[in-house]
């Protein structure tokens, strides 16, 4: 019974992490229609449209960590790593505890071969997620997969 519950909980966390992206402490729905358009573009894997929408959001809301996180995510999908890192770092300047940005920048570090920095963000998520969270689980799995491929 407990094993089934644990498996269901992990599956729910993975689905949540894959679909959320931001996972910040924000609970309000975004009021900016460009944010909604950007999120829809992310969900549809239309990276250029997402970048256009979230660029508009960040221009009008320069302290929106979620928008910078999504902008970083879309750029990373296009392998625009310099832009991805710049946007993730801006999200983390605004909110150092942004779980989504910590996860995604860690994944970007793995994609660019920087295991040390990925592990630093994994440690940050471990501290933020006392009882675990989807972002920690996803980055931990990515780090483990990266290490397995290196050996």
How many domains does the chain divide into? Answer: 2
Asked whether residue 66 falls in the same domain as residue 91, the answer is yes
Asked whether residue 36 falls in the same domain as residue 53, the answer is yes
Residue-range definition of the domain harbouring residue 106:
96-151
Q: Would you state the pLDDT for residue 151?
A: 85
Q: Does 37 or 9 have the greater pLDDT score? A: 37
Mean pLDDT of the chain: 86
Q: Does 147 or 131 have the greater pLDDT score? A: 147
In order of 53, 54, 68, 72, 121, the CA distances from 59 in angstroms are 10, 8, 10, 15, 27
Please check the confidence at residue 71 and state whether its pLDDT lies above 70.
yes
Give pLDDT tens digits for 75-132.
999 999 999 999 999 999 999 999 999 999 999 999 999 999 999 999 999 999 988 8
**pTM higher than 0.85, yes or no?**
no
């Amino acid at each position: 019974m407990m094993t089934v519950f644990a498996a269901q909980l992990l599956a729910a966390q993975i689905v949540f992490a894959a679909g959320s992206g931001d996972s910040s402490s924000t609970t309000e729905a975004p009021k900016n229609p460009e944010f909604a358009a950007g999120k829809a573009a992310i969900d549809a894997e239309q990276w250029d449209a997402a970048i256009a929408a979230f660029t508009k959001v960040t221009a009008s809301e320069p302290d929106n960590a979620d928008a910078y996180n999504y902008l970083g995510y879309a750029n990373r999908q296009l392998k625009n790593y310099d832009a991805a890192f710049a946007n993730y770092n801006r999200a983390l300047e605004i909110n150092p505890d942004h779980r989504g940005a910590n996860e995604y920048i860690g994944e970007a570090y793995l994609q660019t071969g920087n295991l040390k920095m990925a592990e630093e963000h994994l440690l940050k998520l471990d501290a933020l997620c006392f009882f675990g969270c989807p972002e920690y689980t996803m980055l931990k799995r990515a780090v483990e997969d990266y290490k397995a491929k290196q050996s």
